[in-house]
Amino acid sequence: MSESVYKVVELVGTSSESWEKAAAAAVERAGQSLRNLRVAEVSELDMQIEEGRVTAYRAKVKVSFKFEGDA
């Protein structure tokens, strides 16, 4: 395998249904503007609460992609 460099960006996805859908939303959106996505790591999960009820699930996701240029 040749040497490669990957860049990591941190995103927060949201969903009114689940953490899984929140994480998937972050990755899908990243895929619209970044090429060569390689790995996504969920680093944190939390929820928004209003009046004692969960209104949104949030997933902080670190997405890596192959680095092709200047930072």
Task: Domain count for the chain, please give it.
Answer: 1
1 has a pLDDT exceeding 60: no
Indicate whether 1 belongs to any domain. Answer: no
- For residue 71, being part of any structural domain is answered with no
**Token pair for residue 6?**
């990957």
Per the DSSP assignment, residues forming a β-bridge with 27 are none
pLDDT of residue 2: 72
Q: Which domain holds residue 29?
A: 6-66
* 60 located within any domain: yes
- CA 62 to chain centroid: 5
Q: What is the pLDDT of residues 13-69, one digit of tens each?
A: 999 999 999 999 999 999 999 988 989 999 999 999 999 999 999 999 999 998 876
Asked whether residue 48 is domain-assigned, the answer is yes
CATH of the domain at 56: 3.30.1660.10
Contact 23, 13 (CB under 8 A): yes
Per-residue confidence (pLDDT) for residue 4, from 0 to 100: 82
- Asked if pLDDT for residue 71 goes beyond 70, the answer is no
Question: Is residue 5 over pLDDT 90?
Answer: no
Burial code of 51-66, b = ≥16 C-beta within 10 A, e = fewer? eeeeeebbbbbebbbe
Residue 45 located in a structural domain = yes
